[in-house]
Amino acid sequence: MEVILASKAGFCFGVKRAVDKAFEEAEKKINSDTGESSAVFTFGPIIHNEEVTKRLKEKGVNVIESTDEIKNLPAGTRIIIRSHGVGKDIYRIIEENGLQIVDATCPFVSNIHKIVSEQSEKGDVILIIGNPGHAEVEGTIGWSGEETYVINSVDDIRALPDIKDRNITVVSQTTYSLKKFQELVAELQDIYYNVNVCKTICNATEERQKEAEELSSSVDAMIVIGGRNSSNTQKLYEISRQQCNNTYYIQTLDDLDLTVFESASRVGITAGASTPNDIIKEVQNSMSEQSFEEMLQDETPVSIRPGQVIEGEVITVKPDELVVNINYKSDGIVTAAEYSNTPVDLTTVVKPGDSILVKVIKTNDGDGQVLLSHRRVAAEQAYAELEEAFNEGKVLKGKVVQVLSGGLSVQVSECRVFIPASLVSDTFERDLSKYLDQEIEFVLTEYEPRKRRVIGNRKKLVAEEKEKAAAELFAKINVGDTIDGVIKNITDFGAFVDLGGADGLLHISEMSWGRVDNPKKIFSVGDKVKAFIKEINGDKIALSLKFDDQNPWLTAEEKYAVGTVVTGKVARMTDFGAFVVLEPGIDALLHVSQIALQRIEKPSDVLKVGDEVTAKVVDFKPADKKISLSIKAYLKDQGVEAPAEEAAEEAADAE
Ligand code: SF4
């Protein structure tokens, strides 16, 4: 692979000057007697690069963001003005508060301040072509008069007030796109006559952009290095992306995925004006060496470089750290945080003598040790496995490590997969907490690791499994079969029984040969039942517990022959009589005329539901399943006399 580093990549003159000044100030001893120095701050980050800001902070140079903070600082504090510059009023406030100014404003930016200050004093309208809100633009406004406008688009030009009769001075943000600047100037010159254009785009920016354009058009892949907030780096990325689709924007080597360059034979590198040289070099070195696979093949590295993957042997294991022999002059360290994303006591998972695959993070951590990461290698391998699983539709298994409001976070090796709540199951589940710490299976439906979108779908598997189980069930069941099931849901009209693949309905009328008023009184969810299949209609299965061999009418003729004395409970009553349950499934009629020896108007005159009665079977019609009872006959058999009036009536009836 050929790696070409742009000659204009990295710190420009102004940024280098400001950064050097900041580090110099950090080292300065103001008081030679005590050796102490006054505090040093930068007004805003010295440059748009987090790494540089962090390094300065480690040296005691902190950032202040507002004039309110300035007012609270003790006299003598040094305030470094960054290369982008600040407005005139900031200088005044610093001085009024007795603080010292260390002016690191880039001379090119100071020149713009001078232009806008002088021209606005002469009465010109000032137009600043740049990004509204950018620190340099804000600083420039602070040197200009009231009639100053920021132009970033043709719409901004159209929105200007009526300035046709005025002299107009145009300046530009130093890091603005040259092409866009030229387009906007052309538009201005079309509308206005008295336009004095000062091309204040810095040569360094212009040259860097031109070089990025040329380089990106001649390579297979392009790397743009710089802070996320760096406007000039963003522009380099935009320019490069227009020429080369495989353009990657990274802040440090850690953001670089070497696997994406496997098929590239020419790779270009450029960097924004605020990118430190050592970060650029680190990336260049990693790219200039072998590809990921080639690195894996290295057996005995006499030299190592950040990003290299090596197989080492664990020498020492502590709960929070591993010492690894990588056949290098120094041993490497893997901290627990670089071993795994999940907190772990290393003594429980690794032992001395184990071989381990590690990635070099730093060749020297300052104490002469090599910093290594196992987690990053595992993550790269895991992402490769996820990609393969996504492309081939393979089923993955992972542990649910977090229940989020919108779904589940599942750990697969060192990667996290998100399963939205709607894709967890084939039915809506309000409470997903039961999945926490569970191993679940799923497939990937989206895989875009760069956008951090790795989306899993368990619902698909659940639905497929159910479909398969249903097909298997229907293939083996027939009407009349006895089948085991579990009560899944109970309603007023019956119960749904899980048959392992499909549900069957056990209707209330099929629950017993007897009468069932409320299914919930005889079943609970989770009860096991053995039923028979009464009917299969499409995917609907009707069940019954009314087994033929348990039909009470099979033995009724023998048990309830005419003349037999029986005992039963009154189940319901009508005007013409009461129905008495002799056993579940067999009710007998006790006619109103047979309830008592004396005449009664209606059954409820002497009986109520639930009463136990003893009576004689006086009629049995097996074909109609009808049995008639008589208390009267039973009492007579017992020798009980009817009241005199009733007896006379009966005698008269008999004559
Ligand atoms: S880009 Fe140009 S103007 Fe801006 S700081 Fe660098 S040298 Fe100065």
Encoding tokens for residue 433?
């907490």
Residue 354 · residue 306 · CB < 8 Å: no
The upper half-sphere exposure of residue 598, i.e. CA atoms within 13 Å in the direction of its Cβ, equals: 7
List the one residue out of 130, 81, 83, 148 whose CA is nearest residue 231. 130
Q: What is the pLDDT of residue 588?
A: 95
Ligand 1 center to 11 CA (angstroms): 9
- Give whole-number Cα distances, 624 to 398, 562, 589, 621, 628, in Å: 64, 15, 13, 6, 12
Which residues does a 6 A CB cutoff place in the pocket of ligand 1? Answer: 12-15, 83, 106, 108-109, 174-175, 202, 204-205, 273
Question: Best mutation site among 13, 49, 178, 200 for ligand 1, i.e. most ligand atoms within 8 A of its Cβ?
Answer: 13
Ligand 1 centroid to residue 2 C-alpha, Å:
30
Atom number, ligand 1, closest to the C-alpha of residue 13: 7
What ligand 1 atom has the least distance to the C-alpha of 17? 5
Q: Which residues carry out catalysis?
A: 136
Please name the residue that has the structure tokens 């609907």.
540
Sign of CA dihedral 335, 341, 345, 346: negative
pLDDT value at residue 586: 94
Ligand 1 pocket mutation pick from 21, 106, 199 by most atoms within 8 angstroms of CB: 106
* pLDDT value, residue 227: 85
Buried b (16+ CB within 10 A) or exposed e, 238-262: ebbbebbebbbbbbbbeebebeebe
CA 15 to ligand 1: nearest atom: 5
Tell me if the pTM is above 0.85. no
Q: Whose CA is nearest to atom 6 of ligand 1?
A: 14
CA of 16 to the centre of ligand 1 (A): 9
Domains defined along the chain, listed by start: 1-106+212-291 (3.40.1010.20), 108-201 (3.40.1010.20), 306-373 (2.40.50.140), 379-463 (2.40.50.140), 477-550 (2.40.50.140), 552-654 (2.40.50.140)
Query: How much is the pLDDT for 647?
Result: 63
Distance between Cα 157 and ligand 1 center (Å)? 26
Ligand 1 pocket check: which of 131, 175, 199 to mutate, most ligand atoms within 8 Å of Cβ?
Answer: 175
Residues of the chain with pLDDT under 50: 290-301
Tokens linked to 12: 């420009």
Whole-number pLDDT of residue 651: 62
- 178 CA distance to ligand 1 middle (Å): 14
| Residue nearest atom 7 of ligand 1, based on CA coordinates | 14
CA distance linking residue 11 with residue 24, whole number of Å: 17
Q: What is the largest CA-CA distance in the chain?
A: 147
Q: What is the pLDDT of residue 295?
A: 45
Side chain identity, residue 386 = L
CA of 84 to the centre of ligand 1 (A): 8
pLDDT for position 258: 75
Sequence letter at residue 551: N
Q: Given this model, what pLDDT does residue 429 score?
A: 84
The answer to whether residues 102 and 80 touch, using CB atoms and an 8 Å cutoff, is yes
